Amino acid sequence: MSMITALVIFMAPPAAALADAPGPTDYRSSVIAIDPPTDTIHPSVIGGDSFLLLQVDAGTTVVVYGYQGEQYLRYEGDGTVFENQSSPTFALSGSRYGGSLPAGFDEHAPEDWHSVASDGRYAWHDHRIHWMANVRPPGKRPGDVVLRSQLRMTVDQIDVKVTVESIWNPAASRLPVWFGAAGGFAVALLVGLVRRSRWPEAGLALIAGVATIVGWWQYASLPTSTGPKVVWFLMPLAATLATTAMVFIRSMLTKAALLTIAGVNLFLWGWLRRDGFTHALLPNDAPGWFDRAVSAAAIASGPVAAAFGLAALALAVVAPARGATSAT
């Protein structure tokens, strides 16, 4: 199971192959104005400040203009969404912080439209909606507006401007992280030390099961076009299956192997989510405190569980070898 999860660690839906999936952030962007007002388009920001999601009502046509004023997206009345993949905006929007255009990029190339959605709903990285640097905004502090910008589009051939504002959010409490880590460590320790009871194993299975729920919650919180990854729930699911099987299996060797698999998957899952401990906002509809506590429990319990499992496997190999040596 560990090998399977390692193979899919970077998996994402094909439609989002170029997307940089939303991650933890300290800034929350939101749409604050549509001028002139219209009730046929529904722009919003998802992932804190990562992606702009535009939902367009059936029968409405929309053209979204890119960074250089070129036509970047086209929404048809039947819900089909086309993306101009020869535009500079497409070339720069594959990741959160963009970068420079590829060498030899032709900014005046003919438009190259590709269908990317069929339900009038599409999300994309737009560098006009978030702070574009890894350093803090100079002269700003938590609670301040760090960005206000406008996106131009035409709605049924009428010029419309969508205004987006981004605010620096204060850091989240660390208490859920510490409580989750302490609980996860204690459960894993009991699994290794209390061999005659299945309750600690059930506790580790509970941690893995809740981690699977959190991972699925995050995956389901984001549109396909933002690049959600199946590894977010597949790794804790592997740990859940392994720990659940431990409760019903009597073979100590098999239990040790399953404990190792569960521990590795839990630790890797938690490690991939470690940035969430230090950022204000998480790309998940689940409560932030809950996400952080479960991630911390996984990252704390994983190494302990894996260490006990590997130790038991090593003893199982060494003991017969010693017995054979003594017999000779």
- What's residue 2's pLDDT? 46
Give the tens place of pLDDT for each residue, 53-70.
999 999 999 999 999 999
CB-based contacts of 73: which residues, under 8 Å, 6+ apart?
A: 54, 62, 63, 64, 81, 82, 83, 84, 122, 124
CA distances from 5 to 1, 14, 70, 281 (A): 6, 18, 41, 26
CB-based contacts of 161: which residues, under 8 Å, 6+ apart?
A: 33, 34, 35, 150, 151, 152, 153
Q: How big is the CA angle at 59 (ends 53 and 63), to the nearest 5 degrees?
A: 50
Q: How big is the CA angle at 175 (ends 172 and 179), to the nearest 5 degrees?
A: 140
- What's residue 233's pLDDT? 96
Q: Are 53 and 47 in contact (CB under 8 A)?
A: no
**DSSP readout, 169-218?**
PPPPPSHHHHHHHHHHHHHHHHHHH--S-SHHHHHHHHHHHHHHHHHHHH
Give the tens place of pLDDT for each residue, 3-23.
444 444 444 444 444 457 889
Give residue 44's Cα distance to chain centre.
Answer: 18
Rounded CA separation 87/102 (Å): 12
DSSP letter at 60 equals -
* Residue where the block lists tokens 């192959």: 17
Rounded CA separation 242/255 (Å): 9
Helix 288-327 with 175-193: angle, nearest 10 deg = 20
Residue 208 tokens read as 């893995």
- What's residue 91's pLDDT? 87
Reported residue count of the chain is: 328
Of the candidates 258, 266, 274, the one whose C-alpha atom is nearest the C-alpha of residue 308 is: 258
DSSP letter at 152 equals E
Residue type (1 letter), 88: P
CB-based contacts of 58: which residues, under 8 Å, 6+ apart?
A: 77, 78, 79, 120
- What's residue 186's pLDDT? 95
Q: Are 152 and 167 in contact (CB under 8 A)?
A: no
- What's residue 71's pLDDT? 96
Low-confidence ranges of the chain (pLDDT < 70): 1-19, 195-196, 318-328
Rounded CA separation 44/238 (Å): 34
Beta strands in the chain (DSSP E): 27-35, 41-46, 51-56, 62-65, 71-75, 81-84, 113-117, 121-125, 145-155, 158-168
* Residue where the block lists tokens 């070339």: 91
Give residue 319's Cα distance to chain centre.
Answer: 44
